[in-house]
Amino acid sequence: MTNYLAIDLGAESGRAMVATLDDDRLSLTEAHRFSNGPVRLPDGLHWDVLRLWSEIKAGLTIAAAQAPLASIGLDTWGVDFALLDGHGALLGNPHHYRDSRTDGMLTRAFQRVPREQIFAQTGIQLMQINTLYQLFSMALAKSPLLEAAQTFLTIPDLFNYWLSGQKVSEFTCATTTQFFDPQRRVWALPLLEALDIPIHILPRVCEPGTVLGSLLPAVATETGTSPLPVIAPACHDTGSAVVAVPAENENFAWLSSGTWSILGAEVRQPVLSEQALACNFTNEGGVFGTWRLCKNIMGLWFVQECKRQWNMSYDELTRLAAQAKPFLAAIDVDSDLFLHPGDMPEKIRKYCADTRQTVPATQGEIVRVALESLALKYRFVLERLEELVGKRLEPLHIIGGGTRNGLLNQFTADAIQRTVVTGPVEATATGNVLMQAITLGHLASLAEARSVVCGSCDPQVYEPQSKAGWDEAFARLQKVMQ
């Protein structure tokens, strides 16, 4: 029986999970959970990384007191980053990807490097939140932080540096920046130079499953732990989550459901075709030579913002949505209108009014419009994905915290008219731990790791119940997307 610690940070919360592998069965126990979210300062929207670091150490302290640990691994969201000076000190508070400093940056970047060339060099979905446009905005503003920087680290790389002392960029996170060349597997230096982004700040890239070193003595002493190995699993949370898909065939699609929804397939080579660019798909690095051909969709951010606005529970919002009238309107969940924090219910109502659809009046109607529209967007993206890979993908595995929303899961099965399998809920932490176990030789392969997931969780299956109304609503979505 072996215990591992997974530190899993999401856009809404973080957790320290102790996982036990015993006779090919994996069990997870939450040792520590804490909130996460943006902090607004006069210069924009930031992450509170110092508080998060304190929470990580608190989680490590609690976990170490519960059981002897074999290793620790950490994952977070991608895209965001920290800058360090020549002494390794943090320069400023890292910005949040929803900060408005990247508004208009894609257009300005395309004036220097055509969008086709950016995609050809990186294979990444063109989104203003990407690291490339965050750094480009700093270069245009002649940011003194960028001028003083000696090292660039993505957010998980920063915490791994504070845990182990190693300044490296883990592969799955490096690929999310939109300045990593997926074919040559190196930083896309010509692209950065064309946008006046310094290249000397880039660290070396390590593969997922790398042992970064031992826990720094000062951290081990503070948390009451031994100098256990610090392992870089798939440090991008979606990369870890996909490791934990309990797939029993190769022709499956996966959907990581949380603040963001990310829908994709596992492929062996990046897909850099004109069609992939036209559909704005992304090629993110995976584990053991795989790639995640996928697309970001706005996700449960809608429900989270409604919850914050109304101060209601998720269960109550879902109950009201289930009782509301169906198919009042269809919104493009990826409209720029919904990117920034604000009054989400009013944004949804405005979108419906602007597109001359029925405006939802009640709380339940607003949430139902959001959930139905998410399911419809899943159908749209799944159809494009199948065109890119040239085969039917079934079942759709939904993983992550969003699997708790049974109403959305059923809507998804109805919208796509195929089987949906949900679980595990803690997919990211599970995949994180499985990569630690493989690195330490406790599991032999990705296939064996997924077999462990199949034997350790009890997935829930959703079959299509009704097709009525979904085709008409899908046509409405396609119309407002034009």
Q: Which residues are marked as active site?
A: 237
The pLDDT score that the predictor gives to residue 23 is: 85
Residue-level pLDDT at 458 = 87
Largest CA distance in the chain: 62
Q: What is the pLDDT of residues 79-103, one digit of tens each?
A: 999 999 999 999 999 999 999 999 9
Provide the pLDDT for residue 287: 98
Q: Which CATH number fits domain 245-423+444-482: 3.40.50.1980, 3.90.100.10, 3.30.420.40, 3.40.50.150?
A: 3.30.420.40
Domain formed by 2-235, architecture: 2-Layer Sandwich (3.30)
pLDDT of residue 248: 86
pLDDT at 330: 98
Residue 271 DSSP one-character state: -
Q: How far apart are CA 253 and CA 247, in angstroms?
A: 9
pLDDT tens profile 268-305: 999 999 999 999 999 999 999 999 999 999 999 999 99
pLDDT of residue 385: 98
Task: Give residue 200's pLDDT.
Answer: 98
Per-domain residue ranges of the chain: 2-235, 245-423+444-482
Sign of CA dihedral 320, 321, 322, 325: positive
Report the candidate in 298, 301, 267 with the shortest Cα–Cα distance to residue 123: 267
Q: How far is it, in rounded angstroms, from Cα 232 to Cα 219?
A: 17
Q: Which residues in the chain come in under a pLDDT of 50?
A: none
Per-residue pLDDT tens over the stretch 224-255: 999 999 999 999 999 999 999 999 888 999 99
Q: What is the pLDDT of residue 86?
A: 97
Name 156's Cβ contacts closer than 8 Å, sequence gap at least 6: 9, 74, 75, 76, 170, 173, 232, 235, 236
Asked whether the beta carbons of 31 and 66 are under 8 A apart, the reply is yes
Domains 2-235 and 245-423+444-482 share a fold: yes
